[in-house]
C-alpha cells in the first residue's frame, strides 16, 4: 500500500506535518481499530485524503479542543461521512465550522472503545482520549501536555481563555493513567513519545512545573 502518511504503530498512522502558522506544527492521527477508523485532531489540508481513503476512511473524528477547528472539519465530514466528537463547552466556536454530532461533557468510554477524559485548563473544553491500541495504550493529549522545544514536558494555559488551577487538576488526573504512547496535537519538540510506569511520573512532574502560578 502506498501512502504519504507515516505508520507509527501497527494500527496508528500520522498525517504529514502541517504548519498552520510559523512556529507551530501539527499532525492528525488515524487509528485503524477493529472495524472502524478514528481520526484524532484535524489536518490543516486535504493532502492526505487519498491515503486516508486507502486505509479505510474515517468513521469518527475526535477534536481535543477548539483550536483544532477550521474549514477542514467540514471537508473531512463531506469526504468520509464521519461523526464529529468534540467538547460541548466549545460548541459555539467549533460549530462555526461543523455541527458536533457527539457533544462531550463527562468522562466515559464510548461506543467505539475511546475513553473520553475532559481535561480543562488549556481551554475550558480541552479533552484527552485514551484507546487500547494494537501496541499498547495510546493517550491523545491535544495541547494539554506536550514536549517543548527543549525536550521537556510542558503545558500552555491560554491567557484569558484557560485556567491554571483547572490545568493542574487535569494534569494530576492524567497522572493516574498508564499510557504507553502519548500523542500531542500542536507541538514544538516532538509529537509522539513512548512512556512507561517509570518515566510517566517524571513527565507529569515536568508538566506541572510549567503551569503558571497565579499572582
DSSP-assigned beta bridge partners for residue 135: none
Q: Using the predicted structure, report yes or no on whether residue 212 has a pLDDT greater than 90.
A: no
Give yes or no for a contact between 158 and 122, defined as CB atoms under 8 angstroms apart. Answer: yes
| Residue 92 within any structural domain of the chain | yes
Question: What pLDDT, on the 0 to 100 scale, is given for residue 2?
Answer: 39
pLDDT (average), residues 55-69: 96
HSE, CB side, 13 Å, CA atoms: give it for residue 161: 13
Q: How confident is the model at residue 117, as a pLDDT?
A: 98
In a domain, 38, yes or no: yes
36 lies in some domain: yes
Residue 214 within a domain: no
Q: How many domains does the chain have?
A: 1
**22 confidence band (pLDDT: 50, 70, 90):** low
Q: What is the pLDDT of residues 3-12, one digit of tens each?
A: 579 999 999 9
Q: What pLDDT was estimated at residue 33?
A: 85
Q: Is the pLDDT of residue 63 over 50?
A: yes
Q: How confident is the model at residue 149 (pLDDT cuts 50, 70, 90)?
A: confident
Reported residue count of the chain is 215
Give me the domain span that covers residue 193.
6-209
Domain assignment present for 215 = no
Which pLDDT tens digit goes with each residue over 76-93?
A: 999 999 999 999 999 999
What pLDDT band is residue 20 in, cutting at 50, 70 and 90?
low
pLDDT in tens, 153-206: 999 998 889 999 999 999 999 999 999 999 998 777 689 999 999 999 999 999
- pLDDT score recorded for residue 23: 62
Q: Please check whether residue 124 lies inside any domain of the structure.
A: yes
Q: Is the pTM of this model over 0.85?
A: yes
Contact 106, 84 (CB under 8 A): no
Closest CA to 155 of 196, 209, 116: 209
Calculate the dihedral angle through the C-alpha atoms of 37, 38, 42, 44, rounding to the nearest 10 degrees: -10
The answer as to whether 1 is a domain residue is no
Q: CATH no. for residue 33?
A: 3.60.15.10
80 falls within a domain: yes
Which parts of 105-151 fold into alpha helices (H)? none
| Residue 95 backbone dihedrals phi, psi, to 5 degrees | -65, -15
pLDDT tens sequence across 96-131: 999 999 999 999 999 999 999 999 999 999 999 999
* pLDDT at 35 (0 to 100): 85
Amino acid at each position: 500500500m502506498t501512502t504519504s502518511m507515516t505508520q507509527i504503530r501497527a494500527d496508528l498512522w500520522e498525517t504529514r506535518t502541517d504548519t498552520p502558522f510559523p512556529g507551530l506544527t501539527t499532525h492528525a492521527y488515524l487509528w485503524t481499530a477493529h472495524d472502524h477508523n478514528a481520526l484524532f485532531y484535524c489536518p490543516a489540508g486535504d493532502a492526505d485524503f487519498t491515503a486516508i481513503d486507502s486505509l479505510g476512511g474515517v468513521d469518527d473524528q475526535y477534536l481535543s479542543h477548539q483550536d483544532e477547528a477550521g474549514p477542514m472539519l467540514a471537508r473531512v465530514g463531506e469526504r468520509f461521512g464521519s461523526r464529529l466528537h468534540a467538547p460541548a463547552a466549545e460548541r459555539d466556536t467549533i460549530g462555526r465550522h461543523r455541527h458536533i454530532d457527539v457533544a462531550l461533557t463527562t468522562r466515559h468510554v464510548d461506543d467505539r472503545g475511546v475513553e473520553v477524559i475532559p481535561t480543562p485548563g488549556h481551554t475550558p473544553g480541552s479533552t484527552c482520549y485514551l484507546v487500547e491500541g494494537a501496541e499498547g495504550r495510546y493517550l491523545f493529549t491535544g495541547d494539554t501536555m506536550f514536549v517543548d522545544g527543549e525536550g521537556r514536558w510542558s503545558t500552555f494555559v491560554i491567557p484569558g481563555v484557560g485556567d491554571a488551577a483547572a490545568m493542574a487538576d487535569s494534569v494530576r488526573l492524567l497522572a493516574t493513567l498508564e499510557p504507553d504512547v502519548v500523542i500531542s496535537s500542536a507541538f514544538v519538540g516532538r509529537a509522539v513519545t513512548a512512556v512507561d510506569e517509570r518515566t510517566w511520573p517524571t513527565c507529569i512532574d515536568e508538566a506541572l512545573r510549567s503551569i503558571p502560578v497565579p499572582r
